[in-house]
Structure 1
Amino acid sequence: MSMVASGVAPREDIPFTDADFQMLAGLARREFGLDLAASKKPLVYSRLSRRVKARGLVSFADYLALVTTKGENEERLALISALTTNVTSFFREKHHFETLTTVCLRQARAKLDAGGRFRIWSAGCSTGQEPYSIAMTILAAWPDALRRDVRVLATDIDPIVVDRARQGIYSGQDAEALGKDPYRKWIRDSDDGTVSITDEPRALITFAELNLMDPWPFKGPFDAIFCRNVAIYFDQPTQQALWQRFAGLLTETGNLFIGHSERISGPAETSLQACGVTSYRKVTESETKPSNRSIQWV
């Protein structure tokens, strides 16, 4: 779950003009879908001035020329990492995981017993607490999940946080949100005060880097998609296009979970119906077809 970085800007010892900011904002929008308002200029300076210095440059104009140069993909990734920060926790917004258990998993069990598959996508997985929470929820409901065709795809644009997610190592304070049962059994304590995720949840998850603005290298369908507190940093047209793309990847009974400050709007409103707090279900084909019943006049 990525958000535009916040903080107090240091002294501007590297020039950062309004034109520099506008060029950077245009790049962030084109490449990553980020909507950088003019009010973010001091915050952007605070983060990116470090990258300018790290590359031995003396101006933002030089840095912008660098990141738009062919072969500088790693610096573009460093740019997005600098512009975003990641705020997440295990079982954040618990009502979503309750819906996952009582609705998604319950209605999919018959399909699974018949040899079918079950897929969930954590889009914007950050440092991994969300997909691990999903995997633990699945294991709690389906102890035999590892013997079934069950998978969780976890993606994020930032390769640094994806690598941290793969490691599955967290502070003891992070693990407090898990409580004791039934999830604590999938956490291993270490002597240094950290905790690590055990093999069972890990086995359900595939981590990958993905920019949501790029073509998606998969077709689904997904029984559920979690994309929480990501789209809020996109402009409205980008948000609406994203909701529609998600709707197209859901199974007929699939669910979409979004952030507490986000709402579905645009064309996707005909494809997704609210079914809980920031939870939406796919509208079935039969629900969208016009009724053939005639009106009887009396």
Structure 2
Amino acid sequence: MSELSIIKGRPAIESTISDQAFARIAKIALREAGIVLAPSKISMVKSRLTRRLRALGMSSFDSYLDIVEAGTDQSEMGNFVSALTTNVSHFFRENHHFDFLAKVILPSLQQKLANGGKVRLWSAGCSNGQEPYSIAMTLLNADPSLARKNLKILATDIDPEVLTLAKSAQYKGSLTTGLTDEIIAKHFRKSEQDGEVVLTVNSDVQDMISFRQLNLHAEWPMKGRFDAIFCRNVVIYFDEETQVRLYRRYAQALEEGGWLMLGHSERINDSVTSLFKNAGVTTYQTVRTETPSSPVEGRNSKGSN
């Protein structure tokens, strides 16, 4: 036991993860969240799960995994997935998608609303909330009247911690990256907290968005279809089989001619190219829909939409 552990009264945490323990971690991550963990990620995994062991006062990774797999503490599975999920985001990230939304997609959405229809957009894997807020601000910048129209944005993530931050609509420090002075003046309120500037998203932007916890690999409670889905820098963590299944489900969840936006390093798999046509940089449009395939084995989402 280290001197620091003795002083703090905590057990010394294992310095390494065994191959057997890592295999268990990888299996759970794939089953519960579709995350593929290569052996090269063992250092990252150790660093992130060590925080959970420390929080629980545990010293053994195997003992911790026993708790996770037993399911006696349902919240710990969420903490496990949260620890392994990368939540890197900023406002107007990959800005070409927001330009495309305003210039290409919006006119058809406005026409749909004018004809008495409703518009539904989905930010799948919304992380800290910058993406759905960026979508809402983009739309309001182009057409302020949309705040009073039948247009809603669903924002989902598997991680309850990032959803708490997103729902707070408060950002400071590095989380405000991507914002300009003009955007801040138009869509945020400034305050000060412990000597640091805090930006709070204005209520008209917040009112356009509903945040929900959702595991993309479980059942989806949403019944209606979406006009556009943003799922950016999410599928890169999944294996090919999981990606294909997810793309097929997205095709079914989108309106005919609906739009799908992916991250800068993501592409539609060859086996589903019949469902989408390339419409721009990592931007795709459905050409037909089909019956959704079954979700990947995993727990149902705690939230509903």
- Deviation of 1:83 after TM superposition, in Å, equals 1.1
Name the counterpart of 1:248.
Answer: 252
| AA of the residue aligned to 1:217 | P
Does the CA-based 8 Å contact 1:273-1:283 persist in structure 2? yes
**Residue correspondence of structure 1 range 65-214 to structure 2 within 5 A:** 65-171=66-172, 174-175=175-176, 177-181=178-182, 184-192=185-193, 193-214=197-218
1:246-291 residue CA offsets vs partner (Å, 9 max, x unmatched): 1111111210000000000043211111110000011147xxxxxx
1:269 to 259, 273, 286: 273
In the alignment, the residues of structure 2 paired with residue 214 and residue 87 of structure 1 have an alpha-carbon distance, to the nearest angstrom, of 23
When normalised by structure 2's length, the TM-score is 0.86
SS of the residue corresponding to residue 281 of structure 1 reads strand
- Deviation of 1:57 after TM superposition, in Å, equals 2.7
In the alignment, the residues of structure 1 paired with residue 51 and residue 133 of structure 2 have an alpha-carbon distance, to the nearest angstrom, of 32
SS of the residue corresponding to residue 178 of structure 1 reads coil
| AA of the residue aligned to 1:63 | Y
| Shift in alpha-carbon separation, 1:47–1:172, aligned structure 2, 3 A | closer
In the alignment, the residues of structure 1 paired with residue 110 and residue 144 of structure 2 have an alpha-carbon distance, to the nearest angstrom, of 12
| Shift in alpha-carbon separation, 1:162–1:20, aligned structure 2, 3 A | same
In the alignment, the residues of structure 1 paired with residue 274 and residue 285 of structure 2 have an alpha-carbon distance, to the nearest angstrom, of 11
> Structure 1 vs Structure 2: percent identity of aligned residues?
45
Name the counterpart of 1:278.
Answer: 282
| AA of the residue aligned to 2:281 | V
| AA of the residue aligned to 1:46 | S
RMSD between superposed Cα atoms in Å? 1.8
| AA of the residue aligned to 2:130 | Q
Name the counterpart of 1:289.
Answer: none
Gaps of 5+ in 1: 1-10, 286-298
| AA of the residue aligned to 1:210 | L
| Shift in alpha-carbon separation, 1:174–1:31, aligned structure 2, 3 A | closer
Name the counterpart of 2:233.
Answer: 229
Does the CA-based 8 Å contact 2:13-2:54 persist in structure 1? no
Deviant stretches of 4+, over 6 Å: none
SS of the residue corresponding to residue 146 of structure 1 reads helix
When normalised by structure 1's length, the TM-score is 0.87
Name the counterpart of 2:62.
Answer: 61
In the alignment, the residues of structure 1 paired with residue 18 and residue 174 of structure 2 have an alpha-carbon distance, to the nearest angstrom, of 41
Does the CA-based 8 Å contact 2:172-2:199 persist in structure 1? yes
| AA of the residue aligned to 1:197 | V
| AA of the residue aligned to 2:221 | P
| Shift in alpha-carbon separation, 1:33–1:114, aligned structure 2, 3 A | same
Gaps of 5+ in 2: 1-11, 290-305
- Deviation of 1:174 after TM superposition, in Å, equals 4.3
| Number of aligned residue pairs | 275
In the alignment, the residues of structure 2 paired with residue 65 and residue 26 of structure 1 have an alpha-carbon distance, to the nearest angstrom, of 13
| Shift in alpha-carbon separation, 1:169–1:182, aligned structure 2, 3 A | closer
In the alignment, the residues of structure 2 paired with residue 169 and residue 49 of structure 1 have an alpha-carbon distance, to the nearest angstrom, of 28
